[in-house]
């Protein structure tokens, strides 16, 4: 379940360099946490913590993948399409556009 949008919290989240790197990497391909840790300069536990935060705000989609032996693992895909920041009436407004799977968020094996 995604968390209610709070502009300041989302600003803080998107202000993190690793978060931006994870979003950029997962905007190209679905990647596992292991793959993300290998491609970034962060440890696997740090990558998992950032992915958890991104998932809370629905900025990444989580999919179940299966390897050749039938073992399953999670892969992550960027859902952030656009973020617009406006300054109005003494405050900030954040408008986020997310990508959605047109069929739904079913976690079905590829193939």
Taking residue 85's Cβ as centre, other Cβ atoms within 10 Å add up to 12
Give the pLDDT of residue 41.
84
Instruction: Going residue by residue through the chain, which has 111 residues, state the pLDDT in tens, using 9 for 90 and above.
Output: 566 677 788 889 999 999 999 999 999 999 999 999 999 989 999 999 999 999 999 999 999 999 899 999 999 999 999 988 888 888 888 888 888 765 444 444 443
Q: Give the predicted TM-score (pTM) of the model.
A: 0.80
């Amino acid at each position: 379940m995604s968390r209610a949008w709070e502009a300041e919290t989302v600003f803080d989240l998107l202000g993190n360099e690793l978060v931006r790197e994870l979003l950029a990497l997962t905007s190209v391909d679905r990647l596992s946490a292991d793959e993300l840790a290998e491609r970034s300069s962060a440890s696997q536990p740090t990558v998992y913590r950032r992915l958890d935060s991104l998932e809370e705000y629905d900025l990444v989609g989580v999919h179940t993948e299966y390897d050749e032996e039938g073992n399953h693992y999670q892969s992550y895909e960027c859902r952030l399409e656009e973020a617009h920041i406006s300054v109005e009436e003494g405050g900030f407004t954040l408008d986020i556009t997310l990508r959605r799977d047109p069929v739904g968020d079913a976690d079905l094996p590829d193939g």
